[in-house]
Structure 1
């Protein structure tokens, strides 16, 4: 299933609008191109809504916000909503600066297709207490974010992805009490944490996969994480330090096949019927 979604992404070349961290703009664009999508870094208030109506997917990343950036993000979300296009929230450092956290809490009410963050960010966005973050770094374990991810998925309708040594992806069950869909995915390499931009690029890849195929958002989010993680494993075969790894990871996003994703990304899916 993951292999099929990778092939479909490359055939359709989804257009992804990125309102993202200025530190990683070029890296994110290159990652999308390498994976098989088309990036558009349209982030001005005057153009954001208009472009979101034609983009296949939209990324809203809170990495380096400004007053104009906040306005552009709201406009992009409005445009995506008008057109019924999926948008992804990456609540970078949510739970830290108050203004950023308040913005994230407000904008997530506009029903993103997916929310992707580290455990501390997801716990903060869900309103959980007792967690802590340090800038973009998580100080909580992935498993500790499962209740928060479930709550957030139920409140917003989004697929909620929590990044870590094993990624956690959660979708809410329906009103018929079929239970929450939970996927654990093991892939990637620790060197990914030593390269600025891999997490932000993952948010963009998530928007790309959602834009390419919207029939099963949960599976699309899993495929995005499998693609990024498998590329990390392939990159590690030839790179032993962050600089060479960054280049190798971009190359691997381009060269990995669907069979690679199925082989390298180990998934475990359950349905949690807990209330």
Structure 2
């Protein structure tokens, strides 16, 4: 294991400790399908969630927050207006903004909303699936509803192009998770296929990134931390299943695994390849 990999794993473990100590407030403007799961996964990691989306309060609420998560899963014009207002306020206060462009490319509304948010708000992290990131990077790809049907070929290049264009960290979750910022690249090989059988695991991963970025100003490491926690938790949840258990029990075990996550578990189970300048 290179010094860069060792240092990044140590940094991720430290971020987990900071989240539990600091209990950062993570302001979400998110979708109604997964809002409860996002709130509970935030609590499970040790942070504090708030779900406030009305234009009349988003600027005031983000003023109290350590991170802002924007998720366009269930979209409306009012929501986009609130997201932009909250994002601009967060920028003025130095609060990191984490953006989940759910289903971008599936409809003109989603694409326009994502483009507006990217244009008007300075983002710390964008987290999406392969199709979503390739759409934002300007590549032809496939979207089925809000799910990805793009293959993994060219994923690193798409993430690097988008990260360079926007000056932020870009994360792609999939079979192998990709996290990019500038010269830094890490590939995370944790996770289990059952994560794709439960609605909202991508949204929850974005919330975990929000928790981690709320406890550090190193957003590349924060993004890697949130994604690694979700992947490792997925593995541990699957291992805890009995033969008669299904995805309902898996979902419950997933929350348990995040709740009981420790720095030692991160160091033991984290399968991270680091490529770039030594940290």
Q: Please indicate the TM-score interval, normalised by the length of the shorter structure.
A: over 0.9
Matches of 1:83 and 1:232, distance apart in 2: 34
Q: Alignment partner of 2:34: what SS?
A: helix
**Does 2:130 align with 1:128?**
no
Aligned to 1:219: 221
Please tell me whether residue 242 in structure 1 is matched to residue 247 in structure 2. Answer: yes
Provide, for residues 160-201 of structure 1, a one-character-per-residue CA deviation record: whole Å limited to 9, x for no partner. 0000011000002xxxxxxx2110001111111111111101
Q: How many residues align?
A: 263
**Equivalent residue of 2:154, what SS?**
helix
Kept in 2: contact 1:142–1:167 (CA 8 A): no
TM-score w.r.t. structure 2 length?
0.91
Gap regions ≥5 residues in structure 1: 173-179
How far, CA to CA, are the matches of 1:44 and 1:224 in structure 2?
Answer: 27
Match of residue 6 from structure 2 = none
Residues 19 and 145 of structure 1: CA distance in aligned 2, closer, same or farther (over 3 Å): same
Give the secondary structure class of the aligned counterpart of 2:150.
coil
Using the TM superposition, give the Cα deviation of residue 138 of structure 1 relative to its aligned residue in structure 2, in angstroms.
0.9
- Report the counterpart of residue 86 of structure 2 in structure 1: 76
Task: Provide Cα deviations, 1:203-223, integer angstroms capped at 9, x if missing partner.
Answer: 111111111111x21111111
The aligned residue for residue 34 of structure 1 is 44
TM superposition shift of 1:135? 1.5
Aligned residues of 1:120 and 1:145 also touching (Cα < 8 A): no
1:202 aligns with 2:205: yes
Compute the displacement of 1:145 (Å): 2.0
Q: Identify which of 62, 81, 105 aligns with 1:95.
A: 105
- Is 1:193 aligned to residue 204 of structure 2? no
* CA positional deviation for 1:102: 1.3
Who is 1:3 aligned against?
13
Does structure 1 retain, via aligned residues, the 8 Å contact 2:172–2:178?
Answer: yes
User: In the TM superposition, what whole-angstrom CA distance separates every residue of 1:90-112 from its partner, at most 9, and x where no partner exists?
Assistant: 00001111111011012113221
Q: Is 1:113–2:124 an aligned residue pair? A: yes
Distance in 1, matches of 2:31 and 2:70, equals 9
Q: Counterpart in 2 of 1:262? A: 267
* Shift, 1:143, TM fit: 3.9
The 2-side partners of 1:265 and 1:18 are apart by 27
Partner of 1:177: none
Q: 1:119·1:144 contact (CA, 8 Å) conserved in 2?
A: no
